A and B are shown apart, each in its own frame.
Chain A
Amino acid sequence: MCEWCFKHGDGGKWYNNARLYRNELADEYNCSEYLEEQWKNMETLFIRKIMGFNSIGLGYKMKMPIIGKVIRKVVEGQIHSEKKNRNPVRADGHFGQVLPLEDAQHIIGNLAAEPIIKNYCVCRWMQRGVKDAVCINFGQLSEVIEKHTRYIPEGVKYRLDREEAIQALQEQNEKGYIASVWFQPVPYINAICSCETPECGGLRLRNDFDLRTVYKGEYVIDIDIDNCQGCASCVSMCQFNALRYLPSVKRVIVDLDKCFGCGVCRHACKHDALNLVPREDVPGQAGKY
């Protein structure tokens, strides 16, 4: 369990806490207003100046002495902000965590507030020019996104019942997309994305600049050496470069420091060699989110 579980989990994982999905909680934090402002201008997030800096050339800015450290502190403070005056256009308090398909489906089946919709992934559209209706949003966020028709998939049923959303997550996960759950803003939960690197804005900031926009999952992968036949099918599924095939020992190895515990690699394994184990049970990975 990460720091957010201790803050908002009420004794469990934060994303399994039913209270954080409730309309009453969203109203308490004026989430509808925040989401409206945020989604009206979502595509301008990275060109907007925050205290004099926008994200253009962020990699170089963060390598500058002193200034780089200041930027890191300020940006992480905003990402994790729980203050009253959060700025929606720079997405203050908006962050998430990678999770395996089973946990994502549990959320949609039992916790997510209705209505549930699927809409175009904003990240994939603005970074790759691809329209891919894979984002599952719910609760007050659905009603906000519906007003902005450019996010709504054309010619398909976009309001989903729970069964349809569970099935959609299944298909997307099997394709290789990583399931992730999002505070928007903390502590209100209203989205499960099916992310892809390098387009995903959250994973971009985490992978390339080590900003904690997306936390690693509650699990890591465990390779059963006896079962692994060395087919290497799983390697192509991993978006974090955590898996690699070694010809000398004819099996796949994992770099656990890179593993986010999304479990997507399991779909490719036909030999029952890949299983998720709780991160906390692996001494070298416990507490590293």
Chain B
Amino acid sequence: MVKKTKITVDHSKCHTGASTDPRDCRKCLFVCDPAVFLMHPTLEEHPDPHNPEIWRIDPIWLSKCTGCMKCVKVCPEHAITVVPGVSLHEMKAR
């Protein structure tokens, strides 16, 4: 079994209760070179797509994470944790 990279975004810190809307902050998106994160509305039907409550940031392309930890350092709410695993590049080489 390959050791998968684990990234968590604590939505009780990023977003609800946080000082900023994730769409205004979005620092993790900017610093992540392989663009692992995705900013998205939740899956329910939304009559108002501009409502800040429906927006989340989640890690998505986990196998592209190279474990630089820049997102962990840049997050003003300390909402992100990263446990690096095997990256896609390493898997290809096998």
Interface positions of A from 116 to 151, Cβ below 8 Å from B: 125-130, 148, 150
* A199 B35 Cβ-Cβ under 8 A: yes
A–B complex contacts, Cβ < 8 Å, 9 sampled: A44-B41, A47-B60, A56-B58, A57-B62, A59-B63, A59-B64, A127-B38, A130-B30, A208-B61
Residues of A within 8 A of B2 (CB): 60, 63
* B29 A128 Cβ-Cβ under 8 A: yes
User: Does B67 sit at the interface, judged by CB under 8 A?
Assistant: no
Cβ 8 A contact of B58, one of A47, A125, A199:
A47
* A126 B30 Cβ-Cβ under 8 A: no
Interface positions of A from 144 to 203, Cβ below 8 Å from B: 148, 150, 198-199
User: Does B49 sit at the interface, judged by CB under 8 A?
Assistant: yes
Show the binding face of B for A, using Cβ within 8 Å: 2, 4, 23, 26, 29-30, 34-35, 37-43, 49-50, 58-64, 88, 91
User: Does A53 sit at the interface, judged by CB under 8 A?
Assistant: no
* A127 B29 Cβ-Cβ under 8 A: yes
User: Does A48 sit at the interface, judged by CB under 8 A?
Assistant: yes
How many residues in A have their beta carbons less than 8 Å from beta carbons of B?
A: 25
Residues of A within 8 A of B37 (CB): 127
* A47 B91 Cβ-Cβ under 8 A: no
* CB closest chain-A residue, reference B29: A129
User: Does A206 sit at the interface, judged by CB under 8 A?
Assistant: no
Top 6 A-B pairs, shortest CB-CB distance: A59-B63, A129-B26, A129-B29, A57-B62, A59-B88, A127-B35
A46-B60, A208-B88 known; A198 vs B26 contact (CB < 8 Å): no
5 new A-B contacts at CB < 8 Å, known A47-B43, A127-B37:
A43-B41, A58-B61, A59-B64, A129-B23, A150-B49
Residues of B within 8 A of A22 (CB): none
Distance of A284 from chain B, by nearest CB (Å) = 22
User: Does A55 sit at the interface, judged by CB under 8 A?
Assistant: yes
Residues of B within 8 A of A44 (CB): 40-43
* B64 A43 Cβ-Cβ under 8 A: no
* B30 A129 Cβ-Cβ under 8 A: yes
Instruction: Give CA–CA (A129, B35) in the complex, Å.
Output: 10
Distance of B22 from chain A, by nearest CB (Å) = 9
Residues of B within 8 A of A130 (CB): 30
Distance of A202 from chain B, by nearest CB (Å) = 14
Instruction: Give CA–CA (A33, B54) in the complex, Å.
Output: 24
A47-B60, A57-B63, A59-B91 known; A129 vs B43 contact (CB < 8 Å): no
Instruction: Give CA–CA (A57, B86) in the complex, Å.
Output: 12
Residues of A within 8 A of B38 (CB): 43, 46-47, 126-127
Distance of A139 from chain B, by nearest CB (Å) = 23
Distance of A188 from chain B, by nearest CB (Å) = 25
Instruction: Give CA–CA (A124, B26) in the complex, Å.
Output: 12
Instruction: Give CA–CA (A148, B60) in the complex, Å.
Output: 25
* A59 B34 Cβ-Cβ under 8 A: no
Residues of A within 8 A of B34 (CB): 198
Residues of A within 8 A of B49 (CB): 148, 150
User: Does A41 sit at the interface, judged by CB under 8 A?
Assistant: yes
* A208 B35 Cβ-Cβ under 8 A: no
Distance of B77 from chain A, by nearest CB (Å) = 16
* CB closest chain-B residue, reference A55: B60
Cβ 8 A contact of A126, one of B40, B42, B59, B61:
B40
